[in-house]
Structure 1
């Protein structure tokens, strides 16, 4: 965490300098344009009069040229300062992060079957992010066999999202109406929010769109029992239509953030309807790896220092349990408190008579003389009395 904080501080410094540089550039360019405009006017006047430059005009021109030169030099100096800050970020990354991850990542990842899984995860991520051309190129170069049915939902979602980013509601509305029943089963408010946004666009058109907005308000009728208050707010805004919504208590309806929200709502509900995750498996794995790698590298260093080479086999287990936070909780899991391994179908969790739970492999290792003594309490019991738990 300290390493990340150090790099973050350097990035913050660069960001602040970029913001200042942008402001300086804007002011500098305005000054340059002003000087150039003034020079053009003076030279144009002199050219029309066909007279040589007066001493006053020559002085003005010299001053303008000097100011232009000083402004350019200041901008160049600021740019050099930013470049040095960016270099410090790179050095901070090199200083705080170990680039050698070969000891952390098992070689089995790059074998044919596992490599193909990784390639498919990258392809799915590219399709989900709308990078269709890159995904197609990767399919060809990796000879991955991607079915048309696999691509279709991503192509459809990305085309609708692209239209929403251009503030075109028609494709999303058609999709929502077609899937109305499935969206209702998910308790989705997507269709209402699309109609609401279309109604707001009509309001933004001014008094000339009043009748059209009133007519379109009939689309809200199926949603009245769930969104009564929001509908009332939109109807109330009609009172201020002739005065302009921008200067009314309803100006929040014109906020551009509504378009960002509708893109997020559509992505979430459409992915839920099609059985897709909102975040691609690759991005989730990457985020989990960012949390896990520093811990694993520290454990690896401890193992090497103490020469405990057999502690971590790299196959399907980690030497310790790593907490990734609630965001990465997708299903219930149980890690055996004895063997420190997550249970599987072949090694399920077993509940003992005393109520404690261990894995089947741990139970088999604890059997002594046909009897089992619970590792957490002194109760002796018959191993056959243990019952499998299903989460």
Structure 2
């Protein structure tokens, strides 16, 4: 990880030098252009005949000298950037050659060979990729994939993503009208979700009017009527917005309310809209493909280490290529989506075919453990112990 961080630091240095090189190049070239234009203007105004040739010669020589020095300076700094780029390449080589665990080209040993062996599974994979492309707004790429893979996507599935991307694109251009129309149309459903999206859209539109200065005062006062349905829930926020009108003549940016003009509000409103729109559509905020990819990136190093241990100890039978992994891999709370239960008796995770069962005494075990512990129609809890009828156990649903 330290070597990867070193690559990232070198890359940041290159990007910083590249940006600075661009700014400095523009400044020096603009300066030279102004100097040449001034000389040209003097020649046009006074004429070559009236000009002192010795002064003109010195001026032209100095101009040529400045141009030569600028070209040499830019070439030297451009060479420095090439040196920084080569350092990034060397840092990557150190990561690649320093440890086999950093980059391992052979990962087939940790992948089940039959995972995509049926047309049905391949169809699911293609549909997942197409859905991800629709979520990202890459509509033309998704259509090409559908044609080449033969996947047929129903228009009812496609349309919500088209609308979602259209509104998000407008928000990125700081156009609130499509989002406001969508929020008003779905007002009741948003209220059922306890969403504040519509209020925050109106709030952001009101702030955009405030940023226009005193000329928008009457329009801002009239637009404030949109806050009436939200007065009970967002009273404090509305009071702050109305109080800012006092400083409109002197500029909100010069008032105690300058925090209303923070630019990160546009990124925030995009995230809120995406979250609430996906909730109404019954979709997760992140696409299943991106979540699976991120989880795989976190799990792959652990799986590669397991593979290495298995090969060293010659116990290849441990990895059976079934649905379960040989050990539990912690992916962090971000990747927790469903409650799970591991049977304390058999040490196995429960499933639909082997659900968790609650005994009369309150202890929970898996159905397989329940069947194995049952003897002559009676069950003795391994924790109490309390004798009971196994038919009285109830299935638990997560």
Same fold (TM over 0.5): yes
Is the Cα–Cα contact under 8 Å of residues 7 and 92 in structure 1 kept in the other structure?
A: no
Is the Cα–Cα contact under 8 Å of residues 177 and 191 in structure 1 kept in the other structure?
A: yes
Q: Does 1:271 align with 2:271?
A: no
Residues of 2 paired with 1:268 and 1:10: CA distance? 34
Distance 1:382 1:91, change over 3 A: farther
Is the Cα–Cα contact under 8 Å of residues 370 and 390 in structure 2 kept in the other structure?
A: no
SS at match of 1:310: helix
Q: Does 1:39 align with 2:45?
A: no
What residue number does 2:13 align with?
16
Residues of 2 paired with 1:44 and 1:240: CA distance? 48
Q: Does 1:110 align with 2:108?
A: no
Residues of 1 paired with 2:217 and 2:35: CA distance? 49
What residue number does 1:94 align with?
96
Q: What is the TM-score when the length of structure 1 is the normalising length?
A: 0.90
Range with greater deviation from structure 2 (71-80 or 214-223):
71-80
Q: How does 1:150-299 map to 2 (within 5 A)?
A: 150-299=157-306
SS at match of 1:315: coil
Range with greater deviation from structure 2 (15-24 or 319-328):
15-24
Distance 1:153 1:252, change over 3 A: same
What residue number does 2:136 align with?
129
Residues of 1 paired with 2:267 and 2:4: CA distance? 30
**Structure 1 residue 216: deviation in Å?**
1.1
Q: How big is the alpha-carbon RMSD for the aligned residues of Structure 1 and Structure 2?
A: 2.6
Residues of 1 paired with 2:47 and 2:344: CA distance? 96
Is the Cα–Cα contact under 8 Å of residues 361 and 384 in structure 2 kept in the other structure?
A: no
What residue number does 1:74 align with?
76
Is the Cα–Cα contact under 8 Å of residues 372 and 382 in structure 1 kept in the other structure?
A: yes
**Structure 1, unaligned runs of 5 or more:** none
Is the Cα–Cα contact under 8 Å of residues 363 and 383 in structure 1 kept in the other structure?
A: no
**Structure 1 residue 244: deviation in Å?**
1.2
Residues of 2 paired with 1:271 and 1:110: CA distance? 29
What residue number does 1:30 align with?
27
**Structure 1 residue 371: deviation in Å?**
8.1
Range with greater deviation from structure 2 (291-300 or 335-344):
335-344
Q: How does 1:279-358 map to 2 (within 5 A)?
A: 279-337=286-344, 339-351=346-358, 357-358=364-365
CA deviations on 1:199-227 (whole Å, 9 max, x unpaired) are 11222222221111111111111100111
Is the Cα–Cα contact under 8 Å of residues 353 and 381 in structure 1 kept in the other structure?
A: no
Residues of 1 paired with 2:139 and 2:313: CA distance? 49
CA deviations on 1:169-213 (whole Å, 9 max, x unpaired) are 111111111111110010111111111111112222222211111
Q: What is the TM-score when the length of structure 2 is the normalising length?
A: 0.88
Residues of 2 paired with 1:359 and 1:108: CA distance? 28
Range with greater deviation from structure 2 (117-126 or 94-103):
94-103
**Structure 1 residue 319: deviation in Å?**
0.8
SS at match of 1:109: coil
SS at match of 1:345: coil
Distance 1:113 1:161, change over 3 A: same
